[in-house]
């Protein structure tokens, strides 16, 4: 390590050093043996017990993740030019993997893009950001203007940045919750419209789920549309109607869309009307866990394509077993409703429900339902949510398409 570096030094255990050398960018509190006195969110150097440089990252004095690495290069200087390069790399990646979908996409996906604790989603003319690390919060006045500048260089007509920091994770970083415009624009409406897969959606960036709309299922919705022609579809947990609308646009005979949230159903109705698809979609406010048994009790099988896209049933390893029971229940009930030859789409968006466990659950659910599953496709999140193989937490979305045989 170069002697002229003046960043605070934190000594990491040999176990932690092996973890870092394996490629993971997080150093947990139990692996930090000692460290210099410095502010929460500061950039610090992590070194092994033998004094070997491991990397530099953001310090969090409040979180179990004590250091989030941003570089393993001892020559890096973390100035505006450094962060501009990171923004450019992230944006160029999106231009490469989804060049025709840049008007609504994830621009920054945290650790996958070298911005630990930062999410940035573009919804047409608004960039929505969510910051969940003290270090990113500390440099927001450097990074946010660079995001706007680099995207605008490529013709992105952005009104400004809206911060969605109304998230409990910030508490673990010693940060306050809140939401609002970063440098409010002249037109400060928090509503905008996006077009995804040829379908238009109203997006409320102030009050919508997460940052306003779920972008990660973009191409999974398209996969459903390609199979929906002539089908009678039940879309469970429809939220704002995205799978239902894709199925209808794909030629479904009829679609029933269900969500427990009345406001979500009303937004789905507005989206269906905006796209001229309301005549082929019924929208129901109901609890899917109650609805599926009611449909089974009727003794009929009115649907030949069922979609399950539930919210995350677990956000921690402690509740993963209970979550698995919930997944098993709804998947079993849905499979019992489908006739032979029917189609089934099912998903989990929790990284605490890893693929192996989710697949085991699906096999059990199929056995409980007395059916066999023929896999059509196994899919993941869209490529604007890139998966780093050395960071399992970035691999979170499981999506399967089956035929019941």
Catalytic residue numbers read: 349
Within the chain, what is the greatest distance between any pair of CA atoms?
76
Q: Are strands 343-348 and 65-71 parallel, antiparallel or unpaired?
A: unpaired
Q: Are 72 and 55 in contact (CB under 8 A)?
A: yes
Which pair of structure tokens corresponds to residue 293?
Answer: 């048994």
Which ranges constitute the DSSP H helices of 250-401? Answer: 262-274, 288-297, 320-337, 355-369
Which pair of structure tokens corresponds to residue 173?
Answer: 């970083």
| Residue 107 to residue 239: CA distance in whole angstroms | 23
Residues of 124-162 as b/e, b for ≥16 C-beta within 10 angstroms?
A: bbbbbbbbbbbbbbbbbeebbebbbebbeeeebebbbbb
What is residue 386's DSSP assignment? P
Which pair of structure tokens corresponds to residue 355?
Answer: 């693929």
Which pair of structure tokens corresponds to residue 307?
Answer: 């979609």
Helix axes 320-337, 288-297, angle to 10 degrees: 30
Which pair of structure tokens corresponds to residue 273?
Answer: 């009307």
R_g over Cα of the chain: 23
Q: Are 346 and 308 in contact (CB under 8 A)?
A: yes
| SS3 readout for 214-275 | CCCCHHHHHHHHHHCCCCEEEEECCCCCHHHHHHHHCCCCEEEEEECCHHHHHHHHHHHHHC
Tell me how many degrees the CA angle 225-231-233 measures, rounded to the nearest 5.
Answer: 80
Q: Are 159 and 125 in contact (CB under 8 A)?
A: yes
In terms of Cβ atoms closer than 10 Å to its own Cβ (0-12, 13-18, 19+), residue 62 is middle
Which pair of structure tokens corresponds to residue 308?
Answer: 């399950």
In the three-class reduction of DSSP (H, G, I as helix; E, B as strand; rest coil), residue 378 is classed as: strand
Which pair of structure tokens corresponds to residue 329?
Answer: 């229940």
């Amino acid at each position: 390590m170069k002697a002229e570096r003046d960043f605070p030094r934190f000594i990491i255990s040999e176990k932690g050093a092996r973890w870092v050398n394996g490629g993971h960018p997080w150093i947990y509190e139990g692996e930090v043996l000692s460290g210099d006195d410095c502010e929460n969110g500061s950039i610090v150097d992590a070194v092994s017990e033998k004094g070997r440089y491991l990397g530099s990252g953001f310090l969090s004095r409040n979180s179990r993740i004590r250091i989030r690495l941003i570089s393993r290069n001892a020559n890096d200087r973390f100035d505006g030019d450094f962060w501009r390069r990171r923004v450019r790399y992230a944006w160029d990646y999106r231009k490469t993997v989804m060049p025709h979908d840049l008007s609504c996409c994830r621009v920054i996906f945290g650790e996958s893009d070298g911005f630990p604790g930062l999410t940035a989603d573009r919804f047409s003319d608004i960039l929505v950001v969510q910051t969940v690390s003290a270090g990113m919060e500390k440099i927001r006045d450097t990074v946010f203007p660079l995001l706007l500048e680099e995207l605008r260089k490529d013709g992105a007509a952005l009104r400004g940045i809206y911060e969605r920091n109304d998230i409990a994770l910030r508490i673990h970083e010693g940060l306050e919750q809140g939401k609002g415009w970063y440098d409010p624009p002249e037109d400060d409406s928090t509503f905008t419209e996006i077009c995804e897969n040829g379908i238009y959606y109203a997006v409320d960036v102030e009050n919508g789920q997460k940052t306003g709309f779920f972008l990660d299922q973009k191409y999974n919705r398209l996969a459903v549309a390609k199979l929906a022609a002539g089908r009678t579809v039940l879309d469970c947990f429809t939220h704002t109607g995205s799978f239902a609308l894709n199925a209808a646009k794909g030629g479904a005979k009829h679609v029933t869309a269900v969500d427990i949230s009345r406001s979500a159903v009303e937004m789905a109705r507005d989206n269906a009307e905006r796209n001229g698809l309301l005549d082929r979609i019924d929208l129901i406010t109901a609890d899917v866990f109650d609805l599926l048994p009611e449909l089974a009790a009727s003794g009929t099988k009115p649907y030949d394509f069922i979609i399950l896209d539930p919210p995350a049933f677990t956000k921690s390893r402690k509740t993963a077993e209970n979550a698995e029971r919930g997944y098993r229940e709804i998947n079993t009930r849905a499979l019992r409703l489908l006739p032979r030859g029917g189609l089934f789409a099912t998903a989990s968006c929790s990284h605490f429900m890893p693929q192996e466990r989710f697949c085991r659950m699906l096999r059990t659910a199929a056995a409980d339902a007395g059916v066999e599953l023929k896999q059509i496709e196994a899919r993941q999140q869209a490529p604007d949510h890139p998966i780093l193989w050395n960071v399992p937490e970035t691999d979170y979305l499981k999506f399967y398409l089956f035929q019941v045989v």
